[in-house]
């Protein structure tokens, strides 16, 4: 029997009672709506609860407390105000673009859906980042590489073709729901007076754990004294466990070896999509990887031509040459793949630390610390591998994390070819837990109290 996650998801006893699950037309009729989005990673329904309602009674009652019953005229005025507010809020978030109508969520995609499954399994922060630096916001978010500004200036003075100017990297994306169809897009937030034309929009991809044979659940019962566990793709047993009256917490887990094979497939996928075309993803990290039913894919690439400089980077995940605004190659993505593998093994990277000071537009300078040519220690108390296996994994990671990109495997396909025999000959023991979600788990009255994950978008 497996144990629930160290930080198990508490099972909510709340029930969605008053809002029927319905079509998207609800968004044009009432301030609150409960809409189907798709399936959550565990196969349960995933719903979006849009709440644009404004409560005028509660703050007024608090202000007028002690006055007793409100006069009829005040009650009537409140009813009229409430109706006017409902009519106004129904229009919030509705956009008419390109002859189609959309609803734009107030919350960002990250706030609604949380971290990707791979980020929950391996951690969103690189093992290269020291614990005391993990609290900084830029430890997981890409930002512009302002060192390119000075390179562009020098090139312009010399009469050469300027280097690519840095641009703002990242930004808050929202869900855009088609009101005249069933599509859901991920697109940047629109300006109130100048709506986005959905440039850079992409279809929403919902992740799934069901294709992983090792994916399991553990429902803690009887105040955490015992647990009911099973395969996550056994839908009937899973729902039965969640329906238990004594269920108090839920955890998910996946075998470490399965995640190792996911990284193998990721390396091949990145090679096919970018490296085979002499392109570099340049922002490869667990937060930019999606697990689908039949495949694993990277997204939000900076998509840099091999031999060019990168306009952005993420601290901890970017290779040394990318930090210094030097040309990147597919080996730069190999560096990130190796860091994910180090996270899988719970490896500690150590060695001489190097401090790099980069210009930061608007902030002056930014200090970034990294370990040059890191040594690798795989703690046998964390991952129980024999000595020969730890030595083999260590040699592989040290080569892939070399500061000199010429010492690394040259591209994703070569990385995968070296990773495969390690996974076959030195199978990784143990399991990785991950937080459940996204959203909160509720019971739905109009579906015989069946469980569903509910995302809350409140204005």
Could you give the number of structural domains in the chain? Answer: 1
pLDDT at 217 over 90: yes
Higher pLDDT residue, 282 or 167? Answer: 282
Q: Would the pLDDT of 407 be above 60?
A: yes
Residue in 42, 43, 443 with CA at minimum distance from that of residue 251: 42
Q: Please write the tens of the pLDDT for every residue from 331-376.
A: 999 999 999 999 999 999 999 988 888 776 666 677 888 888 999 9
Share of the chain above pLDDT 70, in %: 82
Q: Establish if 122 belongs to a structural domain.
A: yes
> How far is residue 131 from each of residues 356, 376, 383, 439, measured CA to CA in Å?
18, 17, 20, 28
Tokens of 10: 């508490």
Residue 61 included in any domain: no
CA-wise closest residue to 458 among 110, 4, 19, 32: 32
3-state secondary structure of 376: strand
Is 270 inside any structural domain?
yes
Q: Binning pLDDT at 50, 70 and 90, where does residue 8 land?
A: very low
Domain limits for position 326: 117-146+256-433
**DSSP assignment letter at 131:** G
At residue 192, does pLDDT exceed 80? no
Alpha-carbon Rg for the chain in angstroms: 25
In a domain, 251, yes or no: no
Q: CA-to-CA distance for 221 and 219, rounded, in angstroms?
A: 6
Q: Look at residue 216 and tell me if it is in a domain.
A: no
What is the CATH number for 429?
Answer: 1.10.510.10
Supply the pTM of this predicted model: 0.86
**Res. 401 pLDDT band, cuts 50 70 90:** very high
Locate 172 and state its tokens. 């808050």
- Average pLDDT over the chain reads 84
Number of separate helices (H) and strands (E) present in the chain: 11, 25
DSSP 190: P
Residue found by looking up tokens 């719903």 in the block: 47
More confident site: 11 or 342: 342
Q: Which of 82-86, 274-278, 338-342 has the lowest mean pLDDT?
A: 82-86
Q: Indicate the range of 52-61, 161-170, 242-251 predicted with least confidence.
A: 161-170
Residue 160: pLDDT band by 50, 70, 90 thresholds?
very low
Q: What is the mean pLDDT of residues 314-332?
A: 92
Q: What is the pLDDT of residue 270?
A: 98
Structure tokens at 50: 């849009």
């Amino acid at each position: 029997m497996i144990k629930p996650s160290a930080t198990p998801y508490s099972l909510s006893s709340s029930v969605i009672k008053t809002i029927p699950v319905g079509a998207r037309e609800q968004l044009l009729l009432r301030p609150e709506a409960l809409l189907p989005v798709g399936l959550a990673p565990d196969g349960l329904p995933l719903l979006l609860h849009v709440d644009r309602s404004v409560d005028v009674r509660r703050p007024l009652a608090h202000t007028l407390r002690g006055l007793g019953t409100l006069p009829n005229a005040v009650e009537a005025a409140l009813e009229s105000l409430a109706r006017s507010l409902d009519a106004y809020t129904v229009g919030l978030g509705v956009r008419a673009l390109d002859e189609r109508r959309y609803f734009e969520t107030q919350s960002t995609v990250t706030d609604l859906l949380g971290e990707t499954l791979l980020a929950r399994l391996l951690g969103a922060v690189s093992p290269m980042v020291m614990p005391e630096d993990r609290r900084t916001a830029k430890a997981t978010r890409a930002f512009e590489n302002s060192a390119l500004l000075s390179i562009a200036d020098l090139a312009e003075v010399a009469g050469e073709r300027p280097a690519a100017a840095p641009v703002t990297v990242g930004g808050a994306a929202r869900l855009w729901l088609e009101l005249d169809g069933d599509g859901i897009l991920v697109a940047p937030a629109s300006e109130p007076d100048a709506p986005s034309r959905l440039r850079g929009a992409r279809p929403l991809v919902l992740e799934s754990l069901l294709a992983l044979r090792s994916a399991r659940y553990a429902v803690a019962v009887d105040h955490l004294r015992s647990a009911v566990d099973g395969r996550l793709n056994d839908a009937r047993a899973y729902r039965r466990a969640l329906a238990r009256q004594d269920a108090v917490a839920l955890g998910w887990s996946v075998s470490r070896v399965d995640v190792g094979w996911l990284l193998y497939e990721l390396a091949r996928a990145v090679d096919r999509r970018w490296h085979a075309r002499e392109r570099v993803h340049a922002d490869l990290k667990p937060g930019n990887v999606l697990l689908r039913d039949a495949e694993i894919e990277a997204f939000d690439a900076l998509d840099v031509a091999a031999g060019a400089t990168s306009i952005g980077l993420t601290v901890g995940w970017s290779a040394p040459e990318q930090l210094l605004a030097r040309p990147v190659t597919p080996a730069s993505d190999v560096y990130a793949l190796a860091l994910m593998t180090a996270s899988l093994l719970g490896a500690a990277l150590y060695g001489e630390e190097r401090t790099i000071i980069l210009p930061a537009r608007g902030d002056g300078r930014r200090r970034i610390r990294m370990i040059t040519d890191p040594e690798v220690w795989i703690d046998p108390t964390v991952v129980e591998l024999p000595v020969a296996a730890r030595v083999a994994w260590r040699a592989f990671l040290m080569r892939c994390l070399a500061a000199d990109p010429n010492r690394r495997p040259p591209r994703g396909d070569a990385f995968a070819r070296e990773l495969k025999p390690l996974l076959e000959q030195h199978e990784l023991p143990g399991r990785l837990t991950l937080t459940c979600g996204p959203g909160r788990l509720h019971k739905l009255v109009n579906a015989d109290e069946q469980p569903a994950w509910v995302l809350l978008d409140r204005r």
